[in-house]
Structure 1
């Protein structure tokens, strides 16, 4: 049974990368330059003992897949492409839930604020969770 996956939100300039474990939840969340995706995914795979990748189907997913395929673990990646519809909006909400604004910013409605950092890592978490939820229903 699959326990841990690497979620990737592919982008032209940067990619969200997250490792999500079924039991522990999010164990790694980061945003990496797109050109560093292969080595970053390989390091995560080694650290967390997984070769399962959930890749969002955004416009840059083909380039992301090529970068991953040039940095293969000893056993090849198992890559699943997954729909990333509405994940950016979900990631923004999740960011604010996990990092509530402080000071005067807490008085401004969240719908009027943009997170102060990229949410690509949160998108990667959401993609991984979608996949783990989907396969749990088929087990």
Structure 2
């Protein structure tokens, strides 16, 4: 596969989105309001011509319909335990400092939403499945 992947973690109030190159490097990741999801995806899809995937959890049916109304194809993927993996990735990218570095990472709660990291995890899983 040589196309990038645009991954979406849909939610009621906010959605995580990320674009990863075919090799797995992160091109962009962000959290957007659910109301602005379609516009954000349309902008990124126009810029990157990606395969669009979306986690099959909360509000995925509605989000998928909004994106497909733009003429884009969306593939639903399993998002089982992606939040846990996203929290771990958050702490890899932002290592704990001070007293937090003494606490096991599994017990730490990130100080910011991790929806964008969930999108990265979804994209990486999808890319890994394509290689096999």
TM-score (norm 2): 0.92
| In structure 2, C-alpha distance between the alignment counterparts of 1:87 and 1:98, rounded to whole Å | 16
| In structure 2, C-alpha distance between the alignment counterparts of 1:48 and 1:3, rounded to whole Å | 8
- Taking only aligned residues, the RMSD between alpha carbons, in angstroms, comes to 1.4
| In structure 2, C-alpha distance between the alignment counterparts of 1:49 and 1:28, rounded to whole Å | 14
| In structure 2, C-alpha distance between the alignment counterparts of 1:38 and 1:15, rounded to whole Å | 11
| In structure 2, C-alpha distance between the alignment counterparts of 1:106 and 1:67, rounded to whole Å | 42
Map of 1:62 onto structure 2? 61
Write the mapping of 1:37-116 to structure 2, written as runs, cut at 5 A.
Answer: 37-50=37-50, 52-70=51-69, 72=70, 76-116=71-111
Count how many residue pairs are aligned between Structure 1 and Structure 2: 132
Q: Any gaps of 5 or more consecutive residues in structure 1?
A: none
4+ residue segments displaced more than 3 Å = none
Q: Any gaps of 5 or more consecutive residues in structure 2?
A: none
- Determine if contact 1:15/1:37 at 8 Å carries over to the other structure: yes
Quick one: structure 1 residues 64 and 24, their matched pair in 2 at CA, closer, same or farther if it must change by over 3 Å? same
- Determine if contact 2:5/2:19 at 8 Å carries over to the other structure: yes
TM-score (norm 1): 0.88
| In structure 2, C-alpha distance between the alignment counterparts of 1:114 and 1:26, rounded to whole Å | 23
Deviations 1:5-60 (A, max 9, x none): 1000011111110001123611111111111100001111122232x211100031
